[in-house]
């Protein structure tokens, strides 16, 4: 793995082929929802998080490189970003992601400076 922003970091503990749908998602400062979709597309690995009542009716696409750790026993994915960063991320619109380079760039730009 480990393909920059779009690959799971080696240290995250993600096993290729492992199903993550339904796992709880935790930012550095709290829960952000559950994984609704998980893709291991080469060069574009990501999770889609249903934010539930926290940001009602919204989903966020999060590149795999933002994942800091996968706890398979507890079914939790930990992110290397804050809840605010997730809240401010572009909305995920079904079908638009793969076909829209502008959306991909927006997502990349949003998460590129998450350590600042």
Judged against a pLDDT cut of 50, whether residue 2 lies above it is answered with: no
Judged against a pLDDT cut of 50, whether residue 116 lies above it is answered with: no
Question: What residue ranges do the domains of the chain occupy?
Answer: 4-112
How many CA within 13 A on the CB side of residue 69? 8
Arithmetic mean of pLDDT, 9-36: 94
> CA nearest 13: which of 69, 53, 96, 52?
69
Average pLDDT for the chain: 87
**Residue 80 in tokens:** 């290397």
Is the domain defined by 4-112 classed in CATH 1.10.10.10?
A: no
pLDDT in tens, 33-79: 999 999 988 888 999 999 987 777 788 999 999 999 999 999 999 99
């Amino acid at each position: 793995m480990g393909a920059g922003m779009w690959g799971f970091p080696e240290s995250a503990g993600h096993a290729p082929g492992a199903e993550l749908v339904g796992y709880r998602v935790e930012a550095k400062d709290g829960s952000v929802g559950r994984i609704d979709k998980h893709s291991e597309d080469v060069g574009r690995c990501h999770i889609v998080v249903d934010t539930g009542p926290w940001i009602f009716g919204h989903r966020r696409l999060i590149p795999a490189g933002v994942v800091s750790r996968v706890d398979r026993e507890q079914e939790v994915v930990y992110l290397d970003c804050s809840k605010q960063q997730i809240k401010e991320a572009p909305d995920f619109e079904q079908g638009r992601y793969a076909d829209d380079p502008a959306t991909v760039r927006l997502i990349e730009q949003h998460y590129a400076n998450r350590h600042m």
